[in-house]
Amino acid sequence: MQRRDLFRVLAAAGLGQLTSAHGATPRLEADPFQLGVASGSPTASSVVLWTRLMPLNPLNNPWARETLDVRWELAADPGFAQVLRAGTVQALPLLAHSVHVELQGLPADTHFFYRFLIGDATSPVGRTRTLPTADQAVDRLRLGLASCQRLGNGLFGAYTRLIEDGVDLIAFVGDYIYESGAWPTAALPRGLTPASDLGGYRLHHETHKLEPTLQAAHAAVPWLVTWDDHEVVNDYAGAPLQGLSSGDARRRAAAYQAYYEHMPLPLSALRRGLAGLTQTGDELRLYGRQAWGRLAQLHLLDCRQYRSAPACTGLRGLVAPDDCAGLQRPDRTLLGSEQEAWLLDGLADTERPWQLMLQTTMVAPRRIPFGGGHRVWIDGWDGYPASRQRLLERLQAQRTPGAVFLGGDLHENWATEIRQPDGKPVATEFVGAGITMKSFFPRMTPDILAANPHARYADGSACGYALIDVTPQRLRCDFRVVDSLATNTPAVRTAASFTVEAGQPRLVKT
Ligand SMILES: [Fe+2]
């Protein structure tokens, strides 16, 4: 973080007095890098390196109010014999001593190793990479799709297998923490109290980041991150902040700040510093797009922060569409008008064979049989049908080739063809299972699948992740499921695989 940028954040937060002019090197009684390292938000010329200094006992932190100087190194080899770049960055108490190093001007399509140092302590070594340039011919991309990690449910051993699958990037599409906390379990012996303020959200992120499997996954490859509701509060709609009490706005700002502190995001994500997080439209910017050479465009979407309020309420978010006044209103939006326009413009790219939309829930309609009729779950895209329809019409009108939605949230594996009302398929979709979150009603899944003929596969019996392999000719999804949440080294198997041929928005079971 550059000094002038730091001061911009601090000025916006009104907390400039908390920092000293120069950082310090404290007496470190134990490893301050116990939360590991991470990298993310990669482009063809840049990447963000992350760590956070934390004492062994956060309740007795001798450097709690000190700004610390942290050295970073980027190298071509894991032994750091050939250090390519190095520098010093300040870790601020205001940001929980998190460190975000934004490297610019890097060569494209290149792997690097990185680490942090303070005093006698050295962090674990991370491995990262830059993306291919937008005009580069590339013949493959392997993406790991992960979501929904509730530590109280079990261990994150799925990441052990995900790394072994040799992915280029991990896309995390929501529910990195679960704010409602957890009773003590084998995976989380001390449990977690619900989070509602900055200290609480930080504690949730810290607790997750202490998991060795999650640390290893962050250290292995850069991540693209977006969020869903549980990074803040269940089923919230972020946009109409004016409808929130000041307490709600403070809670949201605390959750957003803790998220920034623990993710490899650039400082520019804080559009107006920390103070902006409490104001409508001055958000934590997560959405963005990057090309993977001439092969694919990756559109990372934020489906939570700008969405319209729910059209109605129902038992567990399930409503009969005819009973939900306003559900079809055209002004209701899942992405917010600005992000929606940005996405629709971006889909004009017909140069590349694949447009991958990394988003949070399931885009395809999902009719849930209920008492002789059906209901829909309005916290997902089914709660915003006009917003979805605008997106599908644009895909059809532009003949966008290779539109594929990749999501999570259901805690089930789903493969669907997304069709226009006249039955014409315009996109395909894969939704991956949760890392540890299980399906709420796995025995209902076959009935729900049968009620949705555009869906080809649904299974809620296991946790895991999806592996997405992309070539110029086809895209393949392997639903990878683990056999246990009680170990960091579970067995993994492929529960089902589908391919999509370039230019053909249809699923082929393999
Ligand atoms: Fe979830």
Q: pLDDT tens across 47-93, in order?
A: 999 999 998 887 888 899 999 999 999 999 999 999 999 999 999 99
Q: Name the band, by pLDDT with cuts 50, 70 and 90, for residue 4.
A: low
CA of 52 to the centre of ligand 1 (A): 25
CA of 494 to the centre of ligand 1 (A): 21
CA of 233 to the centre of ligand 1 (A): 11
Q: Which residues pair with 465 in a beta bridge?
A: 480
Q: Which residues pair with 504 in a beta bridge?
A: none
User: Which string of DSSP letters, residue by residue, matches 288-318?
Assistant: EEEEETTTEEEEE--SSTTPPPPSS--GGGE
Q: pLDDT tens across 310-347, in order?
A: 898 877 789 999 999 899 999 999 999 999 999 999 99
Residue 411 has pLDDT above 50, yes or no: yes
Q: pLDDT tens across 228-244, in order?
A: 999 999 988 876 555 56
Q: Name the band, by pLDDT with cuts 50, 70 and 90, for residue 279.
A: low
Residue 6 has pLDDT above 70, yes or no: no
Model pLDDT, residue 16? 35
CA of 84 to the centre of ligand 1 (A): 40
Q: Name the band, by pLDDT with cuts 50, 70 and 90, for residue 13.
A: very low
Q: Name the band, by pLDDT with cuts 50, 70 and 90, for residue 21.
A: very low
More confident residue, 31 or 431: 431
Model pLDDT, residue 9? 57
Average pLDDT score over the chain: 91
Tell me the backbone φ, ψ of residue 38, rounded to 5 degrees.
Answer: -155, 160
CA of 298 to the centre of ligand 1 (A): 22
Model pLDDT, residue 24? 67
Sequence-distant (≥ 6) Cβ neighbours of residue 402 within 8 angstroms: 296, 352, 353, 354, 355, 475, 500, 502, 503, 505
CA of 235 to the centre of ligand 1 (A): 10
Domain boundaries, the chain: 1-130, 134-509
- The continuous run of DSSP H or E covering 259 comes out as helix 246-262
CA of 401 to the centre of ligand 1 (A): 30
Residue 298 has pLDDT above 50, yes or no: yes
CA of 102 to the centre of ligand 1 (A): 30
Ligand 1 (ion): which residues have CB within 5 A?
148, 175, 437
CA of 195 to the centre of ligand 1 (A): 16
Q: Name the band, by pLDDT with cuts 50, 70 and 90, for residue 201.
A: very high
SS3 state of residue 387? helix
CA of 172 to the centre of ligand 1 (A): 12
Model pLDDT, residue 422? 87
Q: Name the band, by pLDDT with cuts 50, 70 and 90, for residue 416.
A: very high
Q: pLDDT tens across 152-168, in order?
A: 999 999 999 999 999 99
Cα Rg, the chain, nearest whole Å: 22
CA of 176 to the centre of ligand 1 (A): 8
245-249: which pairs have CB atoms within 8 A and are 24 or more residues apart? 249/278
Report CA-CA distances (Å) from 65 to 19, 79, 200, 376, 509.
8, 33, 19, 49, 57
Q: Which CATH number fits domain 134-509: 3.40.50.1220, 3.40.50.1820, 3.60.21.70, 3.80.10.10?
A: 3.60.21.70
Q: How many CB atoms lie within 10 A of CB 110?
A: 15
In this structure, of 41-55, 270-284, 311-325, 423-437, the range with the lowest mean pLDDT score is: 270-284
Residue 110 has pLDDT above 90, yes or no: yes
CA of 410 to the centre of ligand 1 (A): 7
Q: Name the band, by pLDDT with cuts 50, 70 and 90, for residue 248.
A: confident
Model pLDDT, residue 393? 94
Residue 118 has pLDDT above 90, yes or no: yes
* Beta strand residue intervals within 295-380, DSSP E: 296-300, 318-319, 354-358, 368-370, 373-377
Q: pLDDT tens across 23-51, in order?
A: 667 677 778 999 999 999 999 999 999 99
The average pLDDT across 127-134 equals: 98
**How far apart are the C-alpha atoms of 437 and 464, rounded to whole Å?**
9
Answer whether 209's CB lies under 8 Å from 262's CB.
Answer: yes
Model pLDDT, residue 14? 37
Which CATH number describes the domain made up of 1-130? 2.60.40.380
Model pLDDT, residue 59? 81
